[in-house]
Amino acid sequence: MHLEKVLSKLTPKERGFISTLIERDPLTGVYNRRKFNHDIQLLVSMAERMSRGSGLLIIDIDDFKKFNDEFGHTEGDKILRKVAQVIEKSLRDYDKIHIYRYGGEEFILIIPDTTVSDAHAIGERLRQNVRNSCGVTVSVGVSHYKEISNSMHELLVDADKALYVAKRGGKDQVAVYYKRPH
SS3 150: coil
| CATH number, span 30-176 | 3.30.70.270
Residue 167 pLDDT more than 90? Answer: yes
Model pLDDT, residue 106: 97
Cα angle: 113, vertex 53, 94; to 5 degrees: 20
Element containing residue 37 per DSSP (H, E): helix 33-49
Domain positions in the chain: 30-176
Residue 170 pLDDT more than 90? Answer: yes
Average pLDDT for 44-64: 83
Contacts of 83 (CB under 8 A, 6+ apart): 59, 61, 107, 130, 134, 136, 138
Per-residue three-class SS string for 104-128: CCEEEEEECCCCHHHHHHHHHHHHH
Residue 182 pLDDT more than 70? Answer: no
Lowest mean pLDDT among 38-42, 47-51, 75-79: 47-51
Position 180 confidence tier, pLDDT thresholds 50, 70, 90: low
Question: For the chain, what is the mean pLDDT?
Answer: 87
Residue 149's DSSP bridge partners are 145
As annotated, the active-site residues are 105
Residue 157 pLDDT more than 90? Answer: yes
Model pLDDT, residue 95: 61
SS3 16: helix
CA gap 164, 99 in Å, rounded: 20
Lowest mean pLDDT among 53-57, 94-98, 124-128: 94-98
Reference 107, options 91, 150, 153; nearest CA is 91
Model pLDDT, residue 178: 79
Long-range pairs for 158-163: beta carbons < 8 A, 24 or more residues apart: 159/56, 159/57, 159/58, 159/108, 160/58, 162/58, 163/58, 163/60, 163/139
Model pLDDT, residue 145: 85
